[in-house]
Amino acid sequence: MTRSQLFGVLIGMTVVAFFTILRTQDPQLLRQARDVTFDEYQRIAPRRFEAMPVKIVDIDEASLRELGQWPWPRDRLAKLTNRLSEMGAAAIAFDVLFAEPDRLSPRTVVRDVGGVDPSFIATLPDNDEIFAEAIRDKPVVLGFGLTNEGSYLPPVKAGFAVTGESAAEAPPRLRAATPLRPQLESNAAGLGHISLNPGSSSAVVRAAPLFLSDGQQFYPSLAMEALRMAQGASTYVLAAAPDVANTLTAVKIGDFVVPLTSSGELWLYVTPDTTERYISARRILADGDPSPDIRAGIEGSIVFIGTSAAGLQDVRTTALGQNVPGVSIHAQIVEQILSGRYLSRPDWANGLEILSIALAGTLLVLLTTFVSPVVALVCGLAVTALALVASWIAFYYGGRLFDPLAPILAASITHFAATAYRFLVTDRERREVRQAFGRYLSPSLLYRIEHTRNALSLGGDDRELTVMFVDVRSFTEMSERMTPTEVVAFLNTLLDALSRHVLANEGTLDKFIGDSIMAFWNAPVDVANHPKKAVRAALGMRETLARLNADNAFGFGTDQEVRIGIGIHTGLACVGNMGAEARFNYSAVGDTVNIAARIEAACKDVNIDILVSEATAQALPDHAMLDAGALSLKGKTNRTRVYAVAGDETLAASLAFQDLRGLHDRLVEALRTRTQTSRSIINAAKLKAPALTPALTGFYARIGRRAEHFAQATEETARRPAE
């Protein structure tokens, strides 16, 4: 791991740690985003409406037009209660507050007139008494509201049993309630709070508290009391966590077990509001017998009485984005319990989401730093898709709520930060590599070295190289006839054309030394068949130089050709960055380099433009090469066997070259044994060589004067490369 990569990992992990801690703290912004995500799930797949024994008697606009404005006199509500009871309602729950005396009561109206005999007033009917008598001994539930004034707490009409640890502090706090009329409070079979989202800053009702607490006593909601009345149950059995205080898990009421949040709330899984849920109050209060459909709808049903009239302002927003009467949500709570379709958020959901942020973030940091930002992006998209699919499946099939947004958001920002760091800092190394090697390496090699670790560190390693030296013949003599500017122009034209073949064959340009080129293969990264690619580059230089001469590219005239010598050797060398930390060169040193340079110099004696060592020739048995003898190279004790390169595999396979090679083998034997037949063989070879390549013409013109290069060779070195 490089230092920049280490810093990249540290920065990335810092971002991951930040988001992990942020999710642990769970600020309001994340909670709101999570709620919106769960809302969207319900909008995509809302709970399907099913006909259930739950109805809403709606004090709607039509009822107000026909029967008068709200509030209605309570004797009318008494009539409504009696009608519903006669139709067989299982429970009747009023989503209405009865905190003040009925101002429309005859007794109240006459008392307010003044000067009337009190004994007469006492004989007048009181609507509160009429309503109180109507609800006596009937399954009627009245609602109470929450207030911050006073200290009134309503009586509890049901019993409570708690299993597990104490949970009295778990539900939302009830500090005071709106007082009910005493006779109504006394005669009601059940009392329940009508608050749907106490203490919540959101207008959307996503979870409803089924219970409140004053720290000692539990108080049920209107919906729970209605369900209790319908079943004739007397007790709520609250299940609390066995080892954690003030944490509720479920409630059992009659035949139903309802999962709760830790604070005693029910996650609402709502249906789109529908008219099938409502019966207009005017139809219940109409004279005569109710229609069969109304009686069938009321009989055996839990009936909620509330209002949808816009002027009464009892409007709430559901997770589906619909504005519905508050009474509709009370009814939907009971419907949801009857359907058994619940939403829940497990206690371990937070831990899972926090862990997923840490793991996904760490994975993306490592992939971005050590592999590729593109691979990290693909993995990030896969993680995003997996989180979304898993969260959706958990919601759709199991009613479980898991937040995919926080892990996705954290992973996205982490990937962006790690990618930005890599681009700005880590990839600076690649830009340095490209700047340093862009003029000396082929694009394919440059790409490979960019992806090699520690490519730009001082030091070298021993590896097998194929080294090439190229030199211009008679350059000193040529430069004497040119101005310095012309010399530079000549070298730029020639060296640019020749060096292109090095790069095209995956070679590395080591340096330009005046009129010479040094190049090598198989470093800085491995190059397959490097001897072959070096020879191919040399043959390309031969063809390019011939074309430049023919086109008079140097301006010397067609009668003065530029000639070069190329020496190639394959062997072990030390290659790497050499110099100082502030400035260094990538180069190769060792005996292999020296031999390649000496072979290039020997091209003058052999009178050929391309010579290779025996090590290189043995790696290319299928190429057109001819034994050029064993030469005494400067600095070498033993003679070095070299080979003249005539051409590539295609030429080697031709009948003409095979015929020439047969002659050449006979010539080598004749020169080695110094027989008189060598002259006739040389003449025969001179006739055949030009048709193959002009470079062999000079080679055979001088070979007769180099008999000692063959005569002193051992039997082992005299043989040509094995087929």
The partner residues of 280 in beta bridges, in order of sequence, read: 58
Q: Work out the pLDDT band at 434, boundaries 50, 70, 90.
A: low
Residue type, 279: I
Mean predicted confidence (pLDDT) in 274-299: 92
pLDDT tens per residue across span 70-114: 999 999 999 999 999 999 999 999 999 998 998 888 887 777 677
Mean predicted confidence (pLDDT) in 45-74: 93
**Which two tokens mark 713?**
């060779």
What is the reported pLDDT for 581?
A: 56
**Which two tokens mark 575?**
């290659």
* Distance (Å, whole) CA 658 – CA 655: 5
700's CB contacts (< 8 A; 6+ apart) are 682, 685, 686, 689
What is the reported pLDDT for 713?
A: 52
Burial classification of residue 45, based on how many CB atoms lie within 10 Å of its CB (0-12 exposed, 13-18 middle, 19 or more buried): exposed
Lowest mean pLDDT among 119-128, 399-408, 465-474, 533-542: 119-128
What is the reported pLDDT for 149?
A: 87
Query: Which among 73, 84, 67 is positioned nearest to 141, based on CA atoms?
Result: 84
* Distance (Å, whole) CA 463 – CA 142: 93
What is the reported pLDDT for 439?
A: 54
User: How far are the Cα atoms of 135, 177, 571 from residue 153, in angstroms, in the given order?
Assistant: 21, 6, 99
pLDDT tens per residue across span 384-406: 899 999 999 999 999 999 999 88
> Is the model more confident about 714 or about 51?
51
Q: What is the DSSP string of 265-297?
A: EEE-------GGGEEEHHHHHSSSPPPHHHHHH
**Is the Cβ–Cβ distance between 284 and 56 less than 8 Å?**
no
Q: Work out the pLDDT band at 430, boundaries 50, 70, 90.
A: low
258's CB contacts (< 8 A; 6+ apart) are 210, 250, 251, 252, 266, 337, 342
φ, ψ for residue 630 (rounded to 5)? -105, 120
Residue 584: its H or E element: strand 584-589
Q: Work out the pLDDT band at 544, boundaries 50, 70, 90.
A: very high
Lowest mean pLDDT among 4-18, 230-244, 527-541: 4-18
Residue with tokens 């040509």: 720
- Maximum mean pLDDT: which of 510-514, 632-636, 658-662: 658-662
Residue with tokens 């999710």: 23
Mean predicted confidence (pLDDT) in 464-479: 92
Q: What is the DSSP string of 5-62?
A: HHHHHHHHHHHHHHHHHHHHH--HHHHHHHHHHHHHHHHHSPPPP---SEEEEE--HH
Mean predicted confidence (pLDDT) in 169-189: 93
pLDDT at 720 over 50: no
pLDDT tens per residue across span 589-613: 999 999 999 999 999 999 999 999 9
pTM greater than 0.85 (yes/no): no
Provide the 3-class DSSP secondary structure of residue 173: strand
What is the reported pLDDT for 406?
A: 87
pLDDT at 444 over 60: no
* Distance (Å, whole) CA 73 – CA 58: 16
Q: Work out the pLDDT band at 675, boundaries 50, 70, 90.
A: confident
Q: Work out the pLDDT band at 716, boundaries 50, 70, 90.
A: very low
pLDDT at 10 over 80: yes
SS3 labels along 83-137:
HHHHCCCCEEEEEEECCCCCCCCHHHHHHHHCCCCHHHHHHCCCHHHHHHHHHCC
Mean predicted confidence (pLDDT) in 15-44: 90
**DSSP code of residue 154:** P
What is the reported pLDDT for 598?
A: 95
**Which two tokens mark 241?**
């966590």
pLDDT tens per residue across span 181-200: 999 999 999 999 999 887 77
φ, ψ for residue 86 (rounded to 5)? -65, -35
pLDDT at 579 over 70: no
What is the reported pLDDT for 722?
A: 41
> Is the model more confident about 115 or about 51?
51
